[in-house]
Amino acid sequence: MTKTKIARELLKPFKLTFQDIRKHGLEAHEIQLIVENNKQYPEFFIKSLLAEVHQGEVKGRWK
């Protein structure tokens, strides 16, 4: 699975988009909720992936 697909899957339950993250960033409590709700990936991976999305390094559109 690509980083883009993983990021979409992480954000989907929270009704967030890449654009939301790029525009506002993610508050600490939102990141913690995403981490707590995803046992599949380690916390470090999730946080680094969301940081990439925020910086615009993960390409792709929300569909």
Residue-wise pLDDT for 22-57, tens only, equals 888 877 788 889 999 998 999 999 999 999 988 888
Give me the amino acid identity at 36.
E
Q: Which residues contact 11 (CB under 8 A, 6 or more apart)?
A: 17, 18, 21, 34
Give me the amino acid identity at 23.
K
CA dihedral 2, 7, 21, 27 (to 10 degrees): -140
pLDDT band at 63 (very low <50, low <70, confident <90, very high): very low
Q: Are 6 and 48 in contact (CB under 8 A)?
A: no
Residue range 7-13: mean pLDDT, rounded: 92
